[in-house]
Structure 1
Amino acid sequence: MTTMKQIAQAAGVSVSSVSLVLNGHDAGRIKPAVAERIRQTARQMGYQPNALARSLRTNKTRMIGFISVQVATTPYAGGMIQGAQDALSELGYMLLTVSGDDATAIESEIRALKRYGVDGFLYSAMSNRVVDIPDSLAEFPLVLVDATDETNRFPSVEPDELRIGYDATTRLVEAGCERIAYIGCTEPMIAQTGRLSGYRQALEDAGRTPNERLICDVLNNGPALQAVEHLFDAEQPDGFFCFNDARAWYVYESAARRGLTIGHDLSVVGVDNHRVFAETLDPELTTIELPHYEMGYWAANKLVSQIEKRPINEDAWPHTTAMMPPLNTPSPVRIHCTLIEKGSVATRRASHSK
C-alpha cells in the first residue's frame, strides 16, 4: 500500500503537505502547482486512502445520499446520477441512490441513509418542479437537482426553461418561419411556464406579436394528435416549437398525413434529445438537450463544497454539452441548455414553398 510518506518523497515535499492536499485542505495553504504535483504523484503511485481510518478521524463517512422522487424509472435518471457519481468519485466520495414514489417511502429511505451515516443529500424530482423538503433533511447539507423549494432555502440547479423556449423559437425565426406554433403541455409545470414565456419573448424580440391561436397545449395520445391536426388545418403553421420530443411526434404524424415534409415544408424543434424520438424520427429531430449530467455533476460539487467548507477547483471540471455555472452562482442556478442541430429545421424561405 502506498503511503503519504512515499508520495512526499517522490514529489519532493513534506508529509504534512501531502496530508493537506489529499485530505482536501490545501486551499490557501499549498501553492496550486505543488498541490497538483502531489495529486498527480498520488495517482501515478496508485494511492488509495483508508476510508475507515479517515471516517473515524474526521467523523465523516464520505458517503452521499441521492434521493430521487419518481426519478429512477425515467429515461433521464442515468445521466443525472452518472454526473453526480463522476463528480463524487473525483472528490473521494461514494454515492448511495434511493428512490420513492410518495412521502412515506421517501421518509423510510432517508432513515436508511442516515443509518449509513451519509454526510449530505442530493434531492431530485421527476421533472423540474417546486418540492416540499422533508423536515428530516433540514439539519443536513442538501442540494436540490432539477427542483427548487418554495423558500429557496437550499441550493438548487435546474434547466433554464425560459432560455429553452427562447432559443428554440429564435432558431425557427432564423429559419424564416412566419407562423410559429407552440405545442405545449397542459400540466402546470415550471417547464411549461418557462418555455411558453421564452416562446413569447423570442417572437416579441423578433418584432412579432404572439398569436394565441398558434399555441396548442396537449397531454398525450389520441386527443393530443387530434388537437395538433386541427391546428395544422386551422392555422397552417410553418414552424413548430414542441414542449418535448414526444410531442414533436404529433407534428411529424400530422405532416405525413397531409403530404408535408419535415425539414422542407415545415420546421420542428423539440426538447430533451430523447434517444427514442430524437434519433429515430426521420428526418432526425433538432432538439434542445436537457443538462441532466451537468445538473448532477454541479450539484455534487456544490454539496461537497458545503460539507468541507472549502472551494472546489472548477478548472478541473470536464467539458460538457452545456456549460456549468460557477458554484457561487445564486440559487436557483439555471443551466443554459444546448440546441442540437439535426435535420428537422428547413433552410431559409426558399425551402418553405408548398
Structure 2
Amino acid sequence: MVTMKEIAKRTGVSISTVSLVMNHRDAGRVKPAIAAHVREVAEKLGYQVNPMASSLRTNRTRTIGFISEEVATTPYAGGMILGAQSAASQLGYLLITVSTDGGMDEGEEIDALKRYGADGFLYAKMSNRITDVPSRLKDCPVVLVDATGRDGTTPSIEPDEFRIAYDATTRLIEAGCERIAYIGCSEAMLAQKGRLAGYKAALEADGRKFSERLVVNVPNNGPALEAVSDLFDWERPDGFFCFNDARAWYVYECAARHGLTIGRDVSVVGVDNHRVFAETLSPQLTTVELPHFEMGYWAAMKVVSLIERRDLDDMEWPETTAPMPPLDAEIPAKIHCTLIEKESVREG
C-alpha cells in the first residue's frame, strides 16, 4: 500500500505538504505547481486516501447524504444520482441515497444519515418546486436539487425554465411557423410559470402578439386529448411548444387524426428528452433535455465546497450536454438547457 511518506520521498516535499494536498487543504498553503506534481505522482503510484484515518484527523467522514422525494421512483433518478455520485467520487466522498417515498419518515431518514456522520446533504425534489429546508438540516451544509428554497438563501440548482421555452419557441419561429401554440400544464408549478413566460417573450421578440386562444393548459389524461383536438379544429396551429414530451404525444395523435404530417405540416418541440417518447414517437421528437446529471453533479460540487470552505477551482469539470453555472452563481443557480434537434420540426 502506497503511503504519504513514499510520495513525499518521490516529490522531495514534506509529509505534511503531501497531507495537505491529498486532503484538499493545499489552497493558499502549497504552491499550485507543487500541488499538481504531488497529485501526479500520487496518481502514478496508485495512492488512495484511507477514509478511516482521514475522518479521525479531520472529524469528517467524507460522506454526503442524498435525500430524495419523488425522485428515486422516476425515470430521471438515474441521471441526477449519477451526476451527484460522479462528483462525490471525484472529490473523494461517498454518496448515500435515501428516498422518502412510500411512507418513509423523512425526519428519521435524516437522523440516520446524521448518525452515519454525513458531512453535508443534497435535498432533491422532482419537477422544480419551492420547498422548505427540513429543520433537521438547518445546521448542516445543504444544497437543494431541482428546487428553490422558500428562504431564498439556501444554495440550489434548477433548470432555466424561461430559457427552455424561449429557445423552443424561437426554434419554431425560425422554422417558419406562423401560429405557434403552447400545450402547457394545468398544475401550478414553477416550470409552468417560467415556460409560459418564455413562450410569450419569444413571440414578442419576433414582433408577434400573444394570444390566449393558442394556449391550453392540460393534465395528462383523456380531456387533454380533447382540448388539443379542439385547438387543431378552431385555431389551426402549425407549430407547438409542449410543456413536456408526454403532452407532445397528444399533438402527434391529433395531427394523425387530421391527416397532417409532423415535421412537414406541423412542427413540434417537447421538453424532457424522455427515453420512452424519444424511442417511440415517429418522426422523432425535437426536445429540450432537462439537466438531471448536471444538477446532481453541480449540487455535489457545491455542497463539498461548503463542507471544505473552498472554491474547488482546481477541479476538472466534465463535458456535459448543458453547461453548468459557476459554484458562486446567484441563488437559485440556473442551467441553460440544450435543445436536441431531431425530426419533428420542419426545415425553415
The TM-score, its normalising length taken from structure 2, stands at 0.97
Distance 1:80 1:299 in 2: 10
Distance 1:267 1:297 in 2: 33
- For residue 311 of structure 1, what is the aligned residue in structure 2? 311
- For residue 158 of structure 1, what is the aligned residue in structure 2? 158
- For residue 21 of structure 2, what is the aligned residue in structure 1? 21
* Deviation by residue 1:51-103 (Cα, 9 ceiling, x = unmatched): 11111111111111000011100111111111010001010100000011389
Query: What is the Cα deviation at residue 311 of structure 1?
Result: 1.4
Query: What is the Cα deviation at residue 315 of structure 1?
Result: 5.5
Distance 1:12 1:166 in 2: 56
Q: Counterparts in 2 of 1:1-354, with a 5 A limit?
A: 1-101=1-101, 105-313=105-313, 316-348=316-348
Query: What is the Cα deviation at residue 300 of structure 1?
Result: 0.6
Query: What is the Cα deviation at residue 105 of structure 1?
Result: 1.4
Give, as a single letter, the amino acid of the residue that structure 2 aligns with 1:34.
I
Q: Aligned-residue CA RMSD in angstroms?
A: 1.3
The size of the alignment, in residue pairs, is 348
Distance 1:299 1:107 in 2: 21
Query: What is the Cα deviation at residue 229 of structure 1?
Result: 0.6
Distance 1:52 1:260 in 2: 65
Contact (CA 8 Å) 2:8, 2:15: kept in 1 or not?
yes
Contact (CA 8 Å) 1:143, 1:302: kept in 2 or not?
yes
* Deviation by residue 1:301-344 (Cα, 9 ceiling, x = unmatched): 11001001111036510111110111111111011000000011
Contact (CA 8 Å) 2:64, 2:94: kept in 1 or not?
yes
Give, as a single letter, the amino acid of the residue that structure 2 aligns with 1:33.
A
1:102–1:153 CA distance, 2 compared to 1 (3 A)? farther
* Deviation by residue 1:11-32 (Cα, 9 ceiling, x = unmatched): 3433222111101111122232
Distance 1:13 1:39 in 2: 12
Q: Percent sequence identity over matched residues?
A: 67
Give, as a single letter, the amino acid of the residue that structure 1 aligns with 2:302.
K
- For residue 352 of structure 1, what is the aligned residue in structure 2? none
Gaps of 5+ in 1: 349-354
SS at match of 1:316: coil
Contact (CA 8 Å) 1:10, 1:41: kept in 2 or not?
yes
Distance 2:211 2:12 in 1: 70
Give, as a single letter, the amino acid of the residue that structure 2 aligns with 1:64.
I
Distance 2:62 2:277 in 1: 39
- For residue 351 of structure 1, what is the aligned residue in structure 2? none
Query: What is the Cα deviation at residue 33 of structure 1?
Result: 2.8
Distance 1:229 1:11 in 2: 72
Give, as a single letter, the amino acid of the residue that structure 2 aligns with 1:298.
W
Distance 2:2 2:251 in 1: 60
Distance 2:347 2:312 in 1: 44
Contact (CA 8 Å) 1:122, 1:300: kept in 2 or not?
yes
Contact (CA 8 Å) 2:132, 2:151: kept in 1 or not?
no
Query: What is the Cα deviation at residue 40 of structure 1?
Result: 2.1
SS at match of 2:38: helix
Contact (CA 8 Å) 1:69, 1:124: kept in 2 or not?
yes
SS at match of 2:71: coil
Distance 1:117 1:142 in 2: 14
The TM-score, its normalising length taken from structure 1, stands at 0.96
Give, as a single letter, the amino acid of the residue that structure 2 aligns with 1:125.
K
